[in-house]
């Protein structure tokens, strides 16, 4: 990134042409009654008489730029310790296609809103390893724990309804898969954030058993139940099992949240962000590379060239 060490010197740049104008006005002149005898045929020397002034002006401008000290700033971020590990477990069963949320005033599915909010959450955890598990009838790791959050966001945009099975929801398996990814890794804190709109009715592990195993590994499981409140005359696609989600959170010393729209879902992730601050110790250093040397050399060179030209080839006798 370009910067200036002494930017106020740039205010002197307009003085270069002003100085040349004053020098031209103050040059001594001989007075003659007539210039007829002094007229000579045009020559290259006369047509280039302006060259010393140009060299002088450019030299002065280059010296002013050198005084302003152009620099290149290089920022370096040093992370002294690892942040926390976060596995995001996202429900992709059919019920998440329910369009009872909104994005920018337009109807949107629960999954689309969840992906938007999760992407913002990931962007704010710059120094934490984040991974992604998707689950429906089965559960699998879509993205392992990584610091490449841009890559994770690209995979997040590719998440679709039914990619892990549409008809049922394996919450216990999702917790187990997420926990397994963190079991052998060293981190000051390990967190699973599980988002679903249904109840556990598939998979090999019961949610309580998976939660107990996660707790034994020191992993907190924050649970989020999504879906708008049912309106009169409208049936819901799935039944949210809040009791089980609350119990999972209690077993792992975490919390359960209920999100009924995009704003409350954003608030949920903001709350989790505050409850689980990054433990990474980050220091930022800025190294400046001076770039005034070429300007100074060119400036001095042009000034010397201007003086030599004015004293030799373009010398004038008053």
| Residue 301 near residue 11 (C-beta atoms within 8 A) | no
Q: Where are the domains of the chain?
A: 2-24+44-75+286-311, 81-275
Burial of 58 (0-12, 13-18, 19+ CB in 10 A): middle
Q: Which CATH class is domain 81-275?
A: alpha beta
When pLDDT is cut at 50, 70 and 90, the band that residue 211 belongs to is very high
* 47 vs 247, residue with greater confidence: 247
Among residues 302, 281, 311, 242, the alpha carbon closest in space to that of 59 is found at: 302
Mean pLDDT of 227-255: 76
Q: How far is 177 from 73, CA to CA, in rounded Å?
A: 44
CA atoms 50, 52, 53, 54: torsion sign: positive
Question: What is the model's pTM?
Answer: 0.64
How do residues 253-265 score in pLDDT, each as one tens digit? 999 999 988 889 9
Q: How far is 284 from 282, CA to CA, in rounded Å?
A: 7
């Amino acid at each position: 990134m370009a910067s200036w060490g002494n930017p106020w010197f740039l205010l002197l740049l307009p003085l270069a042409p002003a100085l040349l104008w004053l020098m031209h006005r103050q040059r001594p002149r001989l007075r003659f009654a007539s210039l007829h005898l002094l007229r000579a045929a045009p020559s290259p020397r006369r047509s280039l008489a302006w060259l010393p002034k140009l060299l002088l002006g450019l030299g002065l401008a280059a010296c002013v730029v050198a005084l302003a000290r152009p620099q290149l700033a290089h920022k370096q971020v040093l992370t002294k310790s690892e942040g926390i590990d976060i596995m995001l477990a996202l429900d992709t069963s059919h019920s998440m296609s329910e369009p009872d949320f909104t994005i920018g005033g337009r109807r949107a599915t629960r999954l689309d809103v969840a992906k938007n909010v999760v992407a913002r959450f990931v962007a704010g955890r710059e120094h934490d390893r984040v991974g992604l598990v998707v689950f429906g009838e089965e559960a699998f790791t879509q993205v392992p724990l990584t610091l490449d959050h841009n890559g994770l966001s690209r995979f997040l945009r590719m998440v679709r309804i039914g990619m892990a099975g549409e008809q049922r929801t394996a919450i216990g398996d999702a917790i187990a898969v997420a926990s397994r990814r963190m079991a052998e890794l060293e981190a000051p804190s390990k967190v699973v954030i599980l988002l679903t709109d249904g109840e556990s009715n598939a998979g090999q592990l019961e949610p309580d058993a998976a939660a107990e195993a996660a707790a034994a590994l020191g992993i907190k499981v924050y649970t989020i139940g999504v879906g708008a409140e049912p309106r009169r005359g409208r049936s819901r696609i799935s039944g949210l099992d809040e009791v089980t989600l609350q119990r999972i959170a209690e077993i792992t010393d975490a919390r359960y949240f209920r999100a009924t729209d995009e704003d409350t879902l954003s608030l949920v992730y903001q709350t989790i962000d505050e409850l689980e601050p990054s433990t990474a110790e980050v220091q930022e250093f800025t190294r400046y590379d001076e770039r005034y040397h070429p300007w100074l050399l060119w400036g001095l060179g042009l000034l010397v060239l201007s003086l030599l030209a004015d004293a030799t080839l373009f010398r004038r006798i008053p």
